[in-house]
Amino acid sequence: MIDLYTWPTPNGLKISIALEEMGLDYTVHPVNLGAEEQFSDEFVKISPASKIPAIVDNNGPSDSPYSVFESGSILIYLAEKSGCFLPEDPHLRLMTLEWLMFQLSAVGPMLGQLGHFKMFASEKIPYAINRYTKESTRTLKTLNRRLHESEYLAGDYSIADIATYPWVVSAANRIPLDLSDMPNLERWLDQIEIRPAVQKGMTVPAPKSS
Ligand SMILES: N[C@@H](CCC(=O)N[C@@H](CS)C(=O)NCC(=O)O)C(=O)O
């Protein structure tokens, strides 16, 4: 059984989608970022930078509990544990890791900063909003070009798609950025959206009923 420490943000949703896709049993532990629960002493032992997501695999290597932080590391760990969504073929594996790294180093950070300056900053700073709109659009156009030549980011559906999907959903629906001139990206979104595991993973953690 895996303990998942998460909150409904794109970085958290990647891991619930992956766990659902891989059919791994997990227990959800919501870490309420608004209440600053990520800074608790208990959570920092699992996630040293006080960020979600993090996991504890109670049946880790040598069958002992094993904690993993950073969403990219968690995705690679889960893919290797389950044998799913990270090909063994060296070329396909490298391609998957390239697109995964592109999400981790460009798509997520640029959209994250854009979301911050557009939605949360108390002072609206046009330079920052313009800069991150431009850089975010640039990453999305890169994905759109890639998806013109490939059905999924690295050939078959993989952890690269799982990592990128919740960020593109956020770009389209929350920030929002206009994707209408990126038809390949829209086609890819539609293809992933209908996957039952994705639909389930996108609802984790479920809102508390009052
Ligand atoms: N590089 C990290 C980024 C994780 C991250 O930024 N998590 C955000 C939520 S999406 C968070 O925990 N924010 C709380 C904080 O910064 O205090 C990863 O990919 O796991």
- Looking at the structure of the chain, the number of domains it has is 2
- Average pLDDT rounded to a whole number, residues 63-69: 94
Query: Is the overall model pTM greater than 0.95, yes or no?
Result: yes
- The atom number, within ligand 1, closest to the CA of 33 reads 14
Residue 105 CA to ligand 1 centre (angstroms): 13
Tell me the CATH number at 24.
Answer: 3.40.30.10
Q: Report which of 177, 203, 175, 180 is spatially closest to residue 112, judged by C-alpha positions.
A: 175
Indicate whether 191 and 97 sit together in one domain. Answer: yes
Would residue 127 count as lying in a domain? yes
Residue 25 CA to ligand 1 centre (angstroms): 23
Indicate whether 119 and 151 sit together in one domain. Answer: yes
Testing ligand 1's pocket by substitution, the residue of 4, 11, 17 carrying the most ligand atoms inside 8 A of its CB is 11
Indicate whether 149 and 169 sit together in one domain. Answer: yes
Q: What is the pLDDT of residues 118-165, one digit of tens each?
A: 999 999 999 999 999 999 999 999 999 999 999 999 999 999 999 999
Confidence of residue 184 (pLDDT cuts 50, 70, 90): very high
pLDDT at 115: 97
Cβ neighbors of 41 (< 8 A, separation 6 or more) are: none
Indicate whether 60 and 123 sit together in one domain. Answer: no
Tell me the CATH number at 175.
Answer: 1.20.1050.10
Among the candidates 26, 53, 85, a domain finishes at: 85
Indicate whether 114 and 129 sit together in one domain. Answer: yes
Nearest residue (CA) to ligand 1, atom 14 = 51
Testing ligand 1's pocket by substitution, the residue of 40, 46, 47, 52 carrying the most ligand atoms inside 8 A of its CB is 52
Confidence of residue 208 (pLDDT cuts 50, 70, 90): confident
The Cα–Cα gap between 107 and 89 comes to: 26
Indicate whether 115 and 186 sit together in one domain. Answer: yes
Would residue 168 count as lying in a domain? yes
End-to-end CA distance of the chain: 28
Q: Is the pLDDT of residue 9 over 70?
A: yes
Confidence of residue 15 (pLDDT cuts 50, 70, 90): very high
pLDDT at 75: 98
Indicate whether 137 and 171 sit together in one domain. Answer: yes
pLDDT at 44: 97
pLDDT at 61: 87
Would residue 62 count as lying in a domain? yes
Would residue 150 count as lying in a domain? yes
Indicate whether 110 and 187 sit together in one domain. Answer: yes
Indicate whether 77 and 170 sit together in one domain. Answer: no
Q: Is the pLDDT of residue 207 over 90?
A: no
Q: What is the pLDDT of residues 87-130, one digit of tens each?
A: 999 999 999 999 999 999 999 999 999 999 999 999 999 999 99
- The atom number, within ligand 1, closest to the CA of 9 reads 10
Nearest residue (CA) to ligand 1, atom 15 = 51
b/e 62-81 (16+ beta carbons within 10 angstroms → b): eeeebbbbbbbebbbbbbeb
Indicate whether 50 and 102 sit together in one domain. Answer: no
Would residue 140 count as lying in a domain? yes
Among the candidates 68, 85, 102, a domain finishes at: 85
Q: How many CB atoms are closer than 10 A to CB 186?
A: 16
Confidence of residue 63 (pLDDT cuts 50, 70, 90): confident
Average pLDDT value over all residues in the chain:
97
Indicate whether 94 and 143 sit together in one domain. Answer: yes
Owning domain of residue 156: 90-195
Q: Is the pLDDT of residue 210 over 70?
A: no
Would residue 18 count as lying in a domain? yes
Q: Is the pLDDT of residue 2 over 60?
A: yes
Would residue 206 count as lying in a domain? no
Would residue 202 count as lying in a domain? no
- Average pLDDT rounded to a whole number, residues 74-86: 98
Among the candidates 85, 103, 123, a domain finishes at: 85
Indicate whether 113 and 81 sit together in one domain. Answer: no
pLDDT at 185: 98
